[in-house]
Amino acid sequence: MKGLRKGLYALLTIYLSLTSLFFIIRLAPGDPVERILGPEARLQDIELLRQRLGLDLSVWEQYLSFCTGIMTGNLGNSLFKSEKISSLILTHLPPTIIIAFFSISLAFFLGSMLGIYSGARKSQIGDGAVRVLSLLALSFPIFSLAPLFVLIFSIWLQWLPVSEWGGFSHGVLPILSLTVPLAAILTRVSRNRFLEEIHAPWVTVLHAKGLREMAILVRVLKACLPTLLNVVAIQLSVVLAGTMITETIFDIPGMGMLLFEGIQNRDYPVVQGVIAYSTIIYMLIYFCVDSLNSWIDPRIQS
């Protein structure tokens, strides 16, 4: 019953987000038809293209068509590229999945390890160094961190390529740009959570029973894990938004670049399709994380 209720909440969230997006994007200035034909196009040509693209219909008729397409899995065609939105998304999805997966995985590993190391050495030099570095990493947003990495690793040191997508070396800088801020957040969260659990009464009881330090540490880490997974799930939306910035900076043909081009060209179906896929992926991952947390700690209500 609880799983059904959460599933209905997820569907409602997806519906409301896509509905809001549909109307907000149409409030943006600019006309896709004028961008396609140019400013010197004849009025007759403009009207003919608007009819062919279905933009001559009222907003509510377009919205009804959009909802019908979502329910049937038909997201329509791009206004500019005349390709199916599903085909465009499947073509641009792999680079984004690769960047997001490795960024989150690396950030989770580094952030949790550094946070635990810092908490275990509270008020020592190592703790202070980790806290200063994490604060410094948080001070750099993605849009300034990515160009900084390009300047250091591509221009000065000439170790890595600046742009495009073709191999492992092309993904290092985008992954690093997304990993650093998320790892900094996880470092601070894991440190605070570790200190809360390590001084909890139940840990004192385990020490009194003579349990080994390693066994106690494993139990403390298990108690910290749900919090870290929740932070990752919440920050997933930031990572997905950050891919648009990194893919634009590094000229990577991913979902972020596709979304940027769609917004720039007022390509409504492309923007709606990319946001729809991103929202569905986000909700699925959040649902999986919530279920995983309930399995790790049964005290957490599903």
| DSSP 8-state symbol, 200 | S
User: pLDDT category, 3, cuts 50, 70, 90?
Assistant: low
36 part of a folded domain: no
The reply to whether 32 falls in a domain is no
- Residue 225 counted as domain residue: yes
The CATH number that applies at residue 204 is: 1.10.3720.10
* 8 A C-beta contact, residue 137 and residue 181: yes
pLDDT above 70 coverage of the chain, percent: 96
Q: Which residues contact 188 (CB under 8 A, 6 or more apart)?
A: 115, 131, 134, 138
Positive or negative torsion for Cα 127, 129, 130, 132: positive
The tally of CA atoms less than 13 A away on the side-chain side of residue 177 is: 32
Q: Lowest-pLDDT range, 42-56, 152-166, 215-229, 249-263?
A: 42-56
Q: Indicate whether 181 belongs to any domain.
A: yes
Rounded distance, CA 188 to CA 169, Å? 29
Residue 178 belongs to some domain of the structure: yes
- What total of structural domains would you count in the chain? 1
Q: Is the pLDDT of residue 156 over 50?
A: yes
Instruction: Tell me which of 3-17, 142-156, 198-212, 220-234 is least confident.
Output: 3-17
Structure tokens at 82: 């005349």
Confidence band for 302, pLDDT divided at 50, 70 and 90? very low
Q: Cα–Cα distance between 144 and 32 in angstroms, integer?
A: 31
Structural domain contains residue 56: no
DSSP secondary structure code for residue 124 in this structure: S
pLDDT, tens digit (0-9, with 9 covering 90-100), for 38-95 = 777 777 777 787 787 777 788 888 888 888 877 777 777 888 877 888 888 888 888 8
- Is residue 43 in a domain? no
CB neighbours of residue 24 within 10 Å: 10
Tokens in use for 225? 């894990």
Residue 163 lies in a domain: yes
Alpha carbon 189 to chain centroid, angstroms: 19
Mean pLDDT value across the chain: 82
Domain span including residue 161: 87-267
